[in-house]
Structure 1
């Protein structure tokens, strides 16, 4: 007999989902960082911050509780007024944020700070929280949208943090089990570690299944369908969303195409290579076979081969 929704909701609430207490703690830590960074940006540069948005899995309520394999990362998007930027400043936004973070936290070790391609990261060792500060140049015509700049390629990409949050909220409204399924799939990803597969990809693939097949009646069945979709299609199908209806359909040549619901010209899976795609499909097939066996055998221990030893459906 398959696991019931009650079984998997127990696993989600007791093991996977970030607790309200921890969420409050992390909110406070992030708010302090935002306040201090705002002050330093204003005092030490000519940049004008128009707004700050907490984004990513934390804001979407799809983040996992912290474990050694499941880190806590919070994205904070700083919208910079376009009028205050020249080209050299724009190209060095992440470096500027990085230097200001070091000034804000002078007692932290140098390895707690990192410049990424489109963000600056700071890690708080005691709480285990990592914060990615993402500077974007605000679109003057649409204040929720902004341009991200890749410090390596110098390419720019239009993004919309509030749009992504609303997208997830809309799918949750369509399917009450959607966030539980996302957390389960993320836990599988973190345990199996298929190369190239990101949390955002998982959110979008499961959203696509909601759009295509409707809300999940059985959490276990939909989770197996998620794995089966990846295994059977080998991610060769273009994934797109109703949010892009009526917009020009851009042709992509990347091995995997998952169109950004907030920007129809952006393929969020563009960095997945052909080799990674095949490894993701193989990992999904192996997990699907294991899940099918676990469901038929009614063996809770077999599910641990997918989710790890912390899997449980009762005390």
Structure 2
């Protein structure tokens, strides 16, 4: 059956979107972590924290409420003064954060500490949220920008957490349905599990469609267009944004190219492999065909093949 905007707004508001009460709870937990870690960094190292920014889906209001399939991940970016930073400090930065986290939190308070390629992650037992502590070396010429270092490749990438938050806010301001669509697409991703496809990729693909086609009039139709774009383009089309229009276009040879709206020299999809690309396209094609069929059939259960068994549009 074809779904009205009100149907999908009900689904988003009652099933997908994180409640304001839970948001306040998570904010308090993250704020406490920030305060403690900032204090410990100052006391136990020569590093100077210039500022801290909550980032990612949590800060963009595109995060899903926690379920068995939908995790709560909060990114916290620590901007570090780069004046006295050397290679040794960079190599040990995540190790330092990891060691400080283990001092701050007793083992009974967390279920896991993990060092990843660009962050140290702590997962809290009671709330179940995971917090990624992302250290960046602040760019002195542009305080909102910072250099993020990959522990494995040793490559560095210029990032801007406030810019990404503003990018999503700008799209939401231009299209009141944008965040609803992002959450719907993320629910499909978490249900269908296309390998290599990240939440940020989804946000950017939907932003690209909005820039190209204008604000959403029909939520269901735009969602089907999102799936159709992936399936029909086979992710061979370069995705870029007006924010980069004044910059010199950089060539990328990666299988999938989605340009960072805050850094025209960064392809945020560079890690998607050819095999992952093929699987993403095939999974999107199947979902697109199912969504098109669901749109014309008088059977709400067909939509559950796209979003999972918790899909509903009324009490």
How far did 1:191 drift? Answer: 0.2
Equivalent residue of 1:54, what SS? Answer: strand
TM-score, structure 2 length as denominator?
0.99
TM-score, structure 1 length as denominator?
0.99
How far did 1:93 drift? Answer: 1.2
Give the unaligned 5+ runs of structure 1: none
Q: Distance in 1 between matches of 2:108 and 2:266?
A: 36
Q: Residues 119-151 of structure 1: CA distance to partner in whole angstroms, max 9, x if unpaired?
A: 000000110110000000000000000000000
How far did 1:212 drift? Answer: 0.2
* Contact 1:48 1:84 (8 Å CA) reproduced: no
Q: Distance in 2 between matches of 1:114 and 1:301?
A: 39
Q: Distance in 2 between matches of 1:298 and 1:258?
A: 37
Q: Distance in 2 between matches of 1:132 and 1:296?
A: 42
Q: Residues 210-258 of structure 1: CA distance to partner in whole angstroms, max 9, x if unpaired?
A: 0000011000000000000000001000000000011010000000000
CA RMSD, Structure 1 to Structure 2 (Å) = 1.0
Q: How does 1:87-98 map to 2 (within 5 A)?
A: 87-98=87-98
Q: Distance in 1 between matches of 2:106 and 2:126?
A: 16
Question: Is 1:289 matched up with 2:289?
Answer: yes
Q: Distance in 1 between matches of 2:77 and 2:298?
A: 45
Equivalent residue of 1:84, what SS? Answer: coil
Q: Distance in 1 between matches of 2:57 and 2:110?
A: 26
- 1:271 matched residue in structure 2: 271
Q: How does 1:1-315 map to 2 (within 5 A)?
A: 1-108=1-108, 112-315=112-315
Equivalent residue of 2:126, what SS? Answer: coil
Distance 1:196 1:218, change over 3 A: same
Q: Distance in 2 between matches of 1:309 and 1:8?
A: 15
Runs of 4+ residues deviating >4 angstroms: none
Equivalent residue of 1:208, what SS? Answer: helix
Give the unaligned 5+ runs of structure 2: none
